[in-house]
Amino acid sequence: MLKVSLGRRLKQWVKQERSVPLAAAGVTGIVIILRMIGMLQSSELAALDQLFRLRPPEPPDDRIVIVEINETNLRQVGQWPLPDRVMAQLLRKVNTYQPRAIGLDIYRDLPVEPGYAEFVKAAQSIPNLVGIQRLKDDSSIGVAPPPALSQQQVGFNNVVVDADGKVRRSLLYWHVEGDAYTSFALQLALLYLQPEKITPQPSANHPDYLQLNQGVFPMFKPYDGGYVGADSSGYQTIANLRRPGGFRTVSIADILADRVPAEWLRDRIIIIGSRAPSLEDVFYTPYSGGHLGAAQPIFGVELQASFISQILSAAFDGRPTIGVWWEPVEWLWILGWSSIGAVVVWQVRSPGSTNNSTTVPGMGAVTSAR
pLDDT in tens, 168-212: 999 999 998 889 999 999 999 999 999 999 999 999 999 999 999
More confident residue, 54 or 330: 54
- Whether the upstream peptide bond of residue 320 has omega within 30° of 0, thus cis, is no
Contact, 333 vs 325, CB < 8 A? yes
Residue 222: partners with Cβ closer than 8 Å, 6 or more residues away: 228, 229, 230, 231, 232
Interatomic CA distance for residues 273 and 279, integer angstroms: 11
Distance CA 300, CA 226 (A): 25
For 205-250, the pLDDT digits (tens) are: 999 999 999 999 999 999 888 888 999 999 999 999 999 989 999 9
- What does the H/E/C string look like for the chain? CEECCHHHHHHHHHHHCCHHHHHHHHHHHHHHHHHHCCCCHHHHHHHHHHHHHHCCCCCCCCCEEEEEECHHHHHHHCCCCCCHHHHHHHHHHHHCCCCCEEEECCCCCCCCCCCHHHHHHHHHCCCCEEEEEECCECCECCECCCCCCCHHHEEECCCECCCCCECCEEEEEEEECCEEEEEHHHHHHHHHHHHHCCCCEECCCCCCCEEECCEEECCCCCCCCCCCCCCCCCEEEECCCCCCCCCEEEEHHHHHCCCCCHHHHCCCEEEEEECCHHHCCEEECHHHCCCCCCCCCEEHHHHHHHHHHHHHHHHHHCCCCCCCCCHHHHHHHHHHHHHHHHHHHHHHHCCCCCCCECCCCCCCCCEEEC
Identify whether the C-beta of residue 249 lies closer than 8 Å to the C-beta of residue 275: yes
pLDDT at 361: 41
pLDDT above 80 for 328:
no
How many percent of the chain have pLDDT more than 70?
77
- Confidence bin at 321 (pLDDT 50/70/90): confident
Mean pLDDT confidence for 94-117: 98
- Residues sharing a CB contact under 8 Å with residue 329, sequence separation 6 or more, in sequence order: none
The pLDDT of residue 24 is above 50: yes
pLDDT tier at 72, thresholds 50, 70, 90: very high
- What is the Cα–Cα distance from 32 to 37, expressed in whole angstroms? 9
Whole-angstrom Cα distance, residue 208 to residue 74?
45
Cα→Cα distances 19→69, 122, 181, Å: 65, 76, 56
Residue 90 has pLDDT above 70, yes or no: yes
- Of 217, 239, 257, 91, the C-alpha closest to 162 is 239
What average pLDDT does this structure show over 3-14? 60
321-to-84, 194, 240, 269, 344 alpha-carbon distances in Å: 39, 21, 6, 21, 35
Per residue in 148-157, pLDDT (tens digit) is 999 999 999 9
- The answer to whether residue 89 scores a pLDDT higher than 80 is yes
pLDDT tens sequence across 260-297? 999 999 999 999 999 999 999 999 999 997 555 567 89
Instruction: Tell me the average pLDDT of the chain.
Output: 86
